[in-house]
């Protein structure tokens, strides 16, 4: 059976299972333990209603808080079938399902405590960006495949002509200097256009912001923001040398947003076909994946600065 004690001294294995180094894992473990203890206190049975003392009875498969953190990080990173996950951690498939539902909000709370979660409220984005003093941003959309819905109406709603598959979609605003996810939109059905999401959410930006975007945001010009977008080749014509050079320079900056999305999708739960049908879980997993990316980025940039 997997346990933290068995893998903590194997750096490559721990990184493959969690996307974190041992130092990063143990740094995240501190707020995760606090969030777990808060949940236990909140859900504890009152003493006068107990049939036996606290801690008595059958011991759980995930004995320590470190084992619990390893379990949920491994699920997000590798995204195994629940039957396989259960076998690897010595429990039943039903218990694995319950642990996933229990530990995912705890992990989200731990990342929130560390200040790693992206902003979700478009009205608060300007304030958040002003606090972070980030002036060069990129905006992009990201899609994830889901299982084909059985209902025909849902099939039409979630079918993405771009991906030729059933998907869900989010827009992200990325700090191109910090390489962090600054804003994450709500999770939408796959057929909704990137620009339409922005039009509906009405993102707010502080003054003097430079925003790099791709052709999916053609016509999106938020007030007071300097936008940069590659110029499309006119039909039947060629771009001038100046336009090609300008496009190259814009793409060179904007590609950082693609790299950040790639970092988010180090969690295979976003990369593989999403199988979990629990209400709201598709949105929860991308919030956590963005928080994990921001956490890794901060840890490794701090380490590089010290070195």
Domain with 155 in it: what CATH number? 3.30.420.10
Per-residue pLDDT, 147:
95
- Please tell me whether residues 290 and 222 are part of one structural domain: yes
DSSP 8-state class, residue 173: E
User: What domain count does the chain have?
Assistant: 2
- Please tell me whether residues 104 and 127 are part of one structural domain: no
- Please tell me whether residues 240 and 127 are part of one structural domain: yes
- Please tell me whether residues 264 and 137 are part of one structural domain: yes
Tell me the C-alpha distance between 97 and 129, whole Å: 37
Measure Cα distances from 178 to 49, 173, 190, 293 in Å. Answer: 51, 12, 29, 12
Q: Name the domain boundary from 81, 113, 145.
A: 113
Per-residue pLDDT, 67:
97
- Please tell me whether residues 294 and 170 are part of one structural domain: yes
- Please tell me whether residues 277 and 169 are part of one structural domain: yes
DSSP string, 174-240: EETTTTEEEEEPPPEETTS-HHHHHHHHT----SSEEEE--GGGTT---TTEEEE-PPPPPTTS---
Question: Under a CB-based contact definition with an 8 Å cutoff, are residues 232 and 215 in contact?
Answer: yes
Q: Name the domain boundary from 84, 113, 142.
A: 113
- Please tell me whether residues 217 and 245 are part of one structural domain: yes
29: Cα within 13 Å, side-chain hemisphere: 18
- Please tell me whether residues 140 and 252 are part of one structural domain: yes
Q: For the stretch 66-90, what's the b/e string if a residue is b when 16 or more beta carbons lie within 10 angstroms of its beta carbon?
A: bbbbbbbbbbbbbbbebeebbbbbe
Range of the domain at 228: 122-306
- Please tell me whether residues 174 and 265 are part of one structural domain: yes
- Please tell me whether residues 263 and 223 are part of one structural domain: yes
Q: Name the domain boundary from 86, 113, 140.
A: 113
Tell me the C-alpha distance between 114 and 69, whole Å: 15
Question: Under a CB-based contact definition with an 8 Å cutoff, are residues 169 and 274 in contact?
Answer: no
Query: pLDDT tens string for the chain (307 positions)?
Result: 899 999 999 999 999 999 999 999 999 999 999 999 999 988 876 766 667 766 666 778 899 999 999 999 999 999 999 999 999 999 999 999 999 999 999 999 999 999 999 999 999 999 999 998 889 999 999 999 999 999 999 999 999 988 899 999 999 999 999 999 999 999 999 999 999 999 999 999 999 899 999 988 999 999 889 999 999 888 888 999 999 999 999 999 999 999 999 999 999 999 999 999 899 999 999 999 999 999 999 999 987 766 5
- Give the closest residue to 174 by CA, choosing from 283, 56, 246, 255: 255
- Please tell me whether residues 127 and 237 are part of one structural domain: yes
- Give the closest residue to 254 by CA, choosing from 217, 286, 287, 224: 217
- Please tell me whether residues 153 and 269 are part of one structural domain: yes
Measure Cα distances from 152 to 156, 222, 275 in Å. Answer: 6, 36, 18
């Amino acid at each position: 059976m997997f346990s933290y004690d068995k893998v903590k001294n194997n750096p490559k294995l721990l990184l493959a299972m969690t996307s974190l180094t041992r130092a990063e894992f143990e740094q995240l473990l501190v707020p995760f333990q606090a969030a777990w203890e808060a949940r236990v206190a909140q859900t504890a049975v009152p003493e006068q209603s107990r049939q036996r003392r606290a801690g008595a009875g059958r011991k759980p498969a995930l004995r320590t808080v470190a084992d619990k953190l390893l379990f949920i990080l491994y699920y997000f990173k590798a995204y195994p079938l629940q039957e396989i996950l259960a076998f690897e951690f010595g429990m039943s498939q039903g218990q694995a399902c319950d642990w996933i539902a229990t530990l995912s909000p705890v992990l989200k709370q731990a990342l929130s405590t560390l200040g790693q979660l992206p902003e979700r409220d478009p009205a608060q984005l300007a304030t958040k960006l002003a606090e972070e003093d980030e002036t060069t941003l990129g905006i992009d959309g990201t899609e994830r495949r889901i299982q084909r819905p059985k209902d025909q109406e849902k099939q039409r709603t979630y079918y993405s002509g771009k991906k030729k598959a059933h998907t869900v979609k989010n827009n992200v605003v990325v700090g191109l200097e910090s390489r962090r996810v600054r804003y994450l939109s709500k999770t939408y059905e796959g057929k909704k256009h990137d620009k339409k999401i922005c039009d509906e959410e009405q993102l707010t930006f502080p003054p003097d912001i430079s925003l790099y975007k791709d052709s999916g945001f053609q016509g999106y010009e938020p007030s007071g923001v300097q936008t940069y977008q590659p110029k499309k080749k006119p039909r039947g014509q060629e771009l001038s040398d100046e336009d090609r050079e300008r496009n190259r320079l814009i793409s060179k900056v904007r590609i950082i947003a693609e790299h950040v999305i790639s970092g988010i999708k180090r969690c295979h739960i976003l990369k593989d076909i999403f199988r979990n049908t629990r209400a709201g879980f598709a949105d929860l997993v991308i919030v956590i994946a963005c928080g994990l990316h921001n956490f890794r980025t901060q840890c490794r940039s701090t380490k590089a600065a010290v070195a």
